[in-house]
Structure 1
């Protein structure tokens, strides 16, 4: 596991063992990622990789495996669930309160530290003032603190490295002529690594926080004029190479159908009038394509089939004793 997830991995293994999982079915190995990869990827019996992590690391692993393909006994199965730049798109008929709630829950739950978290939003100008006010009202009441207190909606980010990266993003937005902090914008690591839920208003659709994964409680909004939905969907589709989750909001069924069709390849998990998070394992298959992974849908039969190797068996109960087929005998 990651060095920042050692304890949780240990607890999960304890739960599985206590539930009766036989030894050896799952092996938990504490090791540096690079050192482990050096051993695993150089072994002739290496058969598969199921990876959850950054796109850059997965790309590196894929390249390493490809360079050693002739060394392996079989072609390794490779599954990746990597990054995301997940979106919310509202049209001018959407309900502002519903959009705001999706932003608050989708972007700031778990401090935005999940690959499905909303990280960018495209809002029509006719809705923006209401949406902004609702989000601001939400953030004014959000409780922040330790994870042991379940009434806290926002907790600390996972480590100092993440904190420093997110703080730098906020500072850059404050200093940029192309961005404006409209909610939040503060941070504090005097006791824990706390980033205040932050909303950035981008003046350009390709502002850096509209393109790059942040993995924290920061959402960037780009405003578009009503009537320019098609152009906005084109921007959404081409701004980033990720395609993990996305959500649309509209009260117009024909527009919902159009948006669903146009944005087909922008999200492996697509939500209509709901936040782009909280796929339930074993109920809602999860995964994305493009730069977000191989879209093998964790928690579903689609993923399971990736790891099986079918064998077809034929048994003949009356074996042939003459090599000639019947048509030859007739001749």
Structure 2
């Protein structure tokens, strides 16, 4: 990455798109069609990277490589210590290449360079944590089955895993899944989002440098509707992990039924920020502004609904408006900007459509609403609406953009009803100084991740995942490595077996 490292250090745009082939069986793979697709930076409107569009044959080759690597035990039968050594070296290589990986992430996703650096650095920490789990994942024993019987519960790697990742956090979300699958002893085929594939391909090369055997991690690129769907359907894949929209998650769940493969899904969210009257409003305002502006709102755990006690609604909304007035939106390679670009034209148009619909439906625009597309550069100012009806599209649908919907409540039960009154249950934040009220709230709110007096924070020690239509299964934490295992019950006869016929 030496020449690329110099380019990343200067934060200059490349003179021509940076080409990165697929990665199969430990080698670069150009595919049968060799069809290169150029990615234009949504923050600059020029071509910055190019990746290949895989065929069904390319996917079959990747799955076959992963299957061979699993079945011959080159990774699955190594000790936890040996696997941990490779994962720790991978973490070190990620840290050594933070600037390059962050630069590529910003070029393709449009997020601010400072955010990209933070995400890549945090991802290295996830790899370090997962390395420790490689040595501690274990089963159980039962010595209560009588003097002549011992029961063992074994955890074994599930096999070949397909991982399909989204465009909003391509490196970080992959790092919430891949090292845990590897720690368990699985082999993997990764299909990154077609808009943001390059950092995944670079990671595959770093894993080889770290000592990962050939075929253990393979990366195929292309359209989700073609390659991702085929990966979910593939009869030689034992598990599929998909992160993305609830709509596509349903299709993945159906496709996995062919061979009844194990499924892990992290899907959409419409996450509430619940603010009670006794909350620290300054702290809440800053966090709520961050939660809606982080990654331009293109975040599955974005706090996109403000459910606030009526007595403090006006005051809190004014404080949020004041914070957002200081937020700078623009060139993602300029470290002084807080908010970068919207990822592509379709997403830009979708968010703009929600803003227009909010105005038509009678919601009050407090601030923002400004959208601009300069050539093929897409920017939207963080936007706040009051007087949002709980049943409206602004309140019910995942916008995946920097749009906050404000809804007041008068009682505790009404607050919980509003918080739970959507099809999703991914995350929630609760703001109160009342310990008893906080615990009652966190018990009643239907969400897989809850923050009290904070938002969008935490480390790999804690599990992530959703309730309701926000997903199936859990990632990260010790649960994350268990997700990629199968449980086997074993009964061992120690003495003579009692005869059926004496």
Which TM-score band applies after superposition, normalised by the shorter structure? 0.7 to 0.9
User: Which residue in the other structure is 2:390 paired with?
Assistant: 205
User: Which residue in the other structure is 1:256 paired with?
Assistant: 438
1:101, distance to aligned residue in structure 2 (A):
1.1
User: Which residue in the other structure is 2:471 paired with?
Assistant: 293
Structure 1 segment 11-160 matched on structure 2, within 5 A: 11-37=202-228, 39-66=230-257, 68=258, 72=259, 75-160=260-345
1:44, distance to aligned residue in structure 2 (A):
3.2
Q: Secondary structure at the match of 1:127?
A: helix
Distance 1:41 1:175, change over 3 A: closer
Q: Is there any run of 5+ residues in structure 1 with no aligned partner, and where? A: none
Q: Cα deviation per residue 1:80-132 (whole Å; 9 max; x = unaligned)?
A: 00100011001111121122112111111111111111110111222123212
Whether 1:231 aligns to 2:422 is no
Distance 1:64 1:198, change over 3 A: same
Does the aligned pair in 1 maintain the 2:366–2:386 contact within 8 Å?
Answer: yes
Q: Secondary structure at the match of 2:386?
A: strand
1:12, distance to aligned residue in structure 2 (A):
2.8
Q: Choose from 374, 387, 396 the match for 1:190.
A: 374
Does the aligned pair in 1 maintain the 2:426–2:470 contact within 8 Å?
Answer: yes
User: Which residue in the other structure is 2:481 paired with?
Assistant: 304
Does the aligned pair in 1 maintain the 2:474–2:483 contact within 8 Å?
Answer: no
Does the aligned pair in 2 maintain the 1:279–1:285 contact within 8 Å?
Answer: no
Whether 1:274 aligns to 2:454 is yes
User: Which residue in the other structure is 2:462 paired with?
Assistant: 284
Does the aligned pair in 2 maintain the 1:77–1:306 contact within 8 Å?
Answer: no
Q: Cα deviation per residue 1:150-173 (whole Å; 9 max; x = unaligned)?
A: 221100011111111111111222
Does the aligned pair in 1 maintain the 2:233–2:255 contact within 8 Å?
Answer: no
Distance 1:317 1:297, change over 3 A: closer
Does the aligned pair in 1 maintain the 2:461–2:478 contact within 8 Å?
Answer: no
Question: What is the alpha-carbon root mean square deviation over aligned residues?
Answer: 2.1
Once residues 230 and 270 of structure 1 are traced to their aligned partners in structure 2, the CA distance between those partners, rounded to angstroms, is: 18
Distance 1:5 1:129, change over 3 A: same
**Which deviates more, 107-116 or 309-318?**
309-318
Specify which structure has the higher proportion of strand: 2
Does the aligned pair in 1 maintain the 2:272–2:428 contact within 8 Å?
Answer: yes
Once residues 254 and 331 of structure 2 are traced to their aligned partners in structure 1, the CA distance between those partners, rounded to angstroms, is: 40
1:41, distance to aligned residue in structure 2 (A):
4.7
Q: Secondary structure at the match of 1:51?
A: strand
Once residues 294 and 232 of structure 2 are traced to their aligned partners in structure 1, the CA distance between those partners, rounded to angstroms, is: 36
Aligned residues: 310
Once residues 172 and 316 of structure 1 are traced to their aligned partners in structure 2, the CA distance between those partners, rounded to angstroms, is: 69
Does the aligned pair in 2 maintain the 1:146–1:155 contact within 8 Å?
Answer: yes
Distance 1:41 1:253, change over 3 A: closer
Once residues 384 and 225 of structure 2 are traced to their aligned partners in structure 1, the CA distance between those partners, rounded to angstroms, is: 36
